[in-house]
Structure 1
Amino acid sequence: MNRLDLLKNMTWQGYQRQNGTQGIRNKILVIYTVECAHFVADKIVAEINDPEVEVVGFSGCTDNEYAVRMLISLIRHPNVGAVLAVGLGCEYIQPEWLSNIAREEGKPSGWFFIQQAGGTKSSVARGVKNIREMKTKLASTPRSSMGFNDLIIGSECGGSDYTSGLAGNVAVGNFYDWLVDAGGTAIFEEIVEAIGLLDLLSSRAASDSARSEIVATYNKALEYCKSVRQYSVSPGNFAGGLSTIEEKSMGAVIKSGSRPIQGVLKVSGKPKHKGLWLLDSTPDPHWMQFGITNPNDNEGLMDLISCGSHIIFFVTGRGSVVGSAVAPVIKLTGNSQTYENMIDDMDVDAGRVLSGDISQDELSAEIAELVMAIARGKMSKSEQQGHKEYFIPYKYQSKEVLIPLRCES
């Protein structure tokens, strides 16, 4: 029996949630509900100085359904054990409402308005007190057995170079095939980086309805690119050896592996069952000009996390230092020189396949073992460095995949 076969049945202890899900972390999330409360939230987390206490938030004063759904999905995320919501007092998103959602999920929670708490100093003191009380409660969180079949893993690529489509994204795709075969769930995104590959994607649909969703999602992304007169390729990609959007698209899509695509998820939507899913993060047609599809890599990572991903793969040929709040980020590169240059930030050197130092199966086993170690509590490189980036923009997107009466393929 090879290493990969042995790993399928390996287990670890997860954090059992009231809604039936299991987490691999037991984080306390400090959520600010407007930019004016951002400073106080940051100060609370800094004073606690615990890697499992993190801050996220939305800067806007006015209503945005996309951002509200995102915050709710993070509250309900299996890696989150408790929530403190901090508001100023004038904004649309109400911290008490968010706290109540956490409480309904069986998670310790609290909230306050800075205007009613006495200002900055008093608010920070109150928040620190609340967090310390939550930490005591989280010490008794129930544990339960968890395996690869219980995991949801998301993937994104950024800073691609010529090795991304040859090794980095290929490594994720091969692991995804193994994960899906082991009963797990995989999510890939960046439909605007699939331009030119409609036939390839639609041919992998697991059902007629999945095919309709894929075609509609692709066509929407194509119209988006046309409307903003920009395709998802950058000067850094060209400097890294990529020549066209088609070349980048082939590299980006190969990270999905080869298994059937079960359907399309919208941001903050959850997979209906296990298998491989495509995430659509493109704004809907009436709002194409308002909110670029992924303003930066961390918005894309948060989109994947909002769908319940326990862990995120981030493939980067050129190199990156970012991590994310809520879910550990594993950074892979197909460029061995990038790995050496950024060894404190990169987790996996997939370039060894190109040099012939390791086989694809051996690399997949290494990745599976790293995933298991991180699920058991080991910190990824971004966690070790303290990277907790996040980004929640104004964006407009329906909860459902919008399929026209006639869906052109």
Structure 2
Amino acid sequence: MSAPTAQPATSSAPPPPGRRARRLVVVAVALVLAVAAALLAYVLTRPERVEPEAFGAVGDGVADDTAALQEALDALEPGQRLVLADDAVYATSDVITLSVDDVEVVGGAELRATDEERSSFQVEADDVLVSGVTFTTPGTTQRWSAEDQQRLLLRGTDGVELRDVTVRGSAAAGVFVAGASTNFLLDGVQVEDTRADGIHVTQGSSDGRLVDVSTSRTGDDGVAVVSYSQDGAPSARIEVERPVVRESDARGISVVGGEDITWTDVDVAQTAAAGIYVATEGDPYFTTSTSGVLVDGAVVVDANIDEGIDHGAVLLFDGNDDSSLSDVAVVDVDITGTRQTASRQVGVIGGQDVDGVRLERFSLVGGPAALLSAPAAGADLVVEGWTSDGEEVDPLAAG
């Protein structure tokens, strides 16, 4: 009798560890590829542009488009663009907020605020472009001061750009830059008919440029850089190139607290107070010290037309005992038509905290006979290259 044939043994042992690992890697790679493919498909099919009409906006200047515009802005995703129809007028009755990073709002439309107390368009996102839009607030009745009344507000943003934007009418400032930094840019921004400053840069804003901005008929300064002590760090490293200011109810351009602020090719006319104002101020404003200010090239016409304000055309003023005014240069300035009854054409006013001031190459035509009021001889003040009505003068000797 033959022995039974042996059957091969069946093993239930798991595969070797190396084989399991390879299987897990294959599954993981497959999942990653599937997710990547889905994301790519989404990006390729996602619209680049979004229109507010898709969210119910009408744009006829009559219908209230507040909710539709806000919904459209909230629906944006990074990389998308909200396109406003060129001929549309979107009426808004409340504050509008843009809070999505890396988006654009473009088009030739008008955003018309119908409630001056809730009239602000507020950008509080980074890397945003707003281009071509006109922001209006018709028929304002008084000067307001809160954020919700600043017509266009940049709050704590990095890398925001405003290009070819127009602000026509504001219950407070036209453009209010609050704590913006890292290459913020205002290029070709036009502001008119505001209750407060045309453009107001403050709250530690830094590392920004204003290029070819213009203001007219402003209720306060045309273009201002301001640093209040209560806000901590001063506004710093701001460059303003070719600003144009017309018909200001206060100063033309001003730095009131700040560091390393540069102005080039300034064009100012018809200001109630000084055309150029660099200062520190005490009660009730209490600004920081002002240092490192350069005004390089300016034309100032018809300055200080308000007889109730005695500034002259250019005023450097240290009005805060707890701060100082230092390292200020104003050079290559043409001044014409300053109010003749002003106390002086140019003033450097303050005590021992005014230090390192240069006033060079001033050309004066008309205006008050007193050319310069300045600290006593021996102060750290350089005055060179002045002419008055075409004649070389020593403004300190002229009184």
TM-score interval for Structure 1 and Structure 2 normalised by the shorter chain: under 0.3
Scaled by the length of structure 2, what TM-score is found? 0.21
Q: Which structure has greater helix proportion?
A: 1
Structure showing greater relative contact order (alpha-carbon pairs closer than 8 Å, 6 or more residues apart): 1
